[in-house]
């Protein structure tokens, strides 16, 4: 499995011929250069809800944009409700969990504090090997939230260079270097507890 970060809350995950887009933004913000089989949408904002931008050739994504259970391409996706503050407005946010190549993944969307999660969302995050958490301008809170779910790996996103440095410092992992992408196999989780993988924006 290869995970590529494309800025904001936008990720591309690939495994063989399968491509998953997470929170593709409006093309005026970041033009897509690939087609996706599946698109996960965490919140209804222009920065994260434009699945039409990951249509390419005969690839048109199956769109998952809210809580529920979905079986697509032999994979089971589970979404659960949470909330997130965007600007000064509270938004409905969906936390997603799924397994890819033997690794259980949780995308927390824009939720980064414990009180924002429903019991179902907490269950998804607590069962994950890899948690992707939004940092924004609250690195300490985001790190504490991600760590509370006891993952093997943590991928922060939505952070400026300064905020990412603070996030890494919270985890005592200041020396972790930015990676262009994360190439992961199940065995890579062995012995890992809260390892932060910092990904560079490849948009």
Domain boundaries, the chain: 2-196
Residue 110 has pLDDT above 70, yes or no: yes
- Confidence (pLDDT) at 150: 97
Averaged pLDDT for residues 92-121: 95
The CA radius of gyration of the chain, in Å to the nearest whole number, is 15
Q: How many Å apart are CA 161 and CA 169, to the nearest integer? A: 12
Averaged pLDDT for residues 164-171: 97
- Confidence (pLDDT) at 102: 96
Nearest to 18 by CA among 78, 61, 49, 50: 61
Burial of 13-38, coded b for 16+ CB within 10 Å and e otherwise, reads bbeeebbbbbbbbeeebbebebbbbb
pLDDT, tens only, 171-191 = 999 999 999 999 999 999 999
Q: What is residue 47's three-state secondary structure? A: coil
Averaged pLDDT for residues 139-161: 96
Residue 28 has pLDDT above 80, yes or no: no
Averaged pLDDT for residues 86-94: 82
Is 2-196 a CATH 3.40.640.10 domain? no
What confidence category does residue 91 fall into, taking pLDDT thresholds of 50, 70 and 90?
A: confident
Averaged pLDDT for residues 98-111: 96
Residue 29 has pLDDT above 80, yes or no: no
Identify the weakest region by mean pLDDT among 23-37, 53-67, 75-89, 124-138. 23-37
DSSP letter string, 117-168 = B-HHHHHHHHT-SEEEEE-TT-HHHHHHHHHHT--SEEEEES--HHHHHHHH
Residue 98 has pLDDT above 70, yes or no: yes
Nearest to 193 by CA among 171, 177, 175: 171
Residue 30 has pLDDT above 70, yes or no: no
- DSSP secondary-structure letter at 71? E
């Amino acid at each position: 499995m290869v995970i590529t970060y494309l800025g904001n809350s936008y990720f591309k995950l690939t495994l063989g011929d399968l491509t998953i887009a997470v929170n593709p933004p409006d093309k005026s913000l970041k033009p897509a250069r690939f087609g996706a089989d599946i698109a996960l949408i965490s919140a209804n904002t222009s920065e994260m809800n434009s699945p039409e931008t990951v249509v390419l050739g005969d690839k048109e994504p199956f769109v998952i944009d809210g809580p529920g259970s979905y079986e697509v391409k032999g994979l089971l996706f589970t979404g659960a409700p949470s909330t997130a503050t965007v600007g000064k407005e509270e938004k409905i946010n969906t936390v997603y969990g799924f397994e890819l190549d033997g690794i259980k993944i949780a995308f927390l969307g824009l939720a980064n504090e414990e009180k924002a999660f429903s019991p179902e969302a907490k269950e998804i995050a607590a069962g994950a090997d890899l948690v992707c958490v939004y940092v924004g301008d609250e690195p300490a809170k985001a790190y504490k939230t991600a760590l509370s779910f006891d993952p093997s790996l943590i991928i922060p996103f939505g952070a400026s260079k300064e905020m990412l440095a603070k996030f890494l410092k919270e985890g005592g992992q200041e020396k972790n270097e930015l990676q262009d992408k994360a190439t992961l196999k199940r065995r890579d989780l062995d012995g890992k507890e809260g390892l932060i993988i910092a990904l560079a924006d490849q948009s």
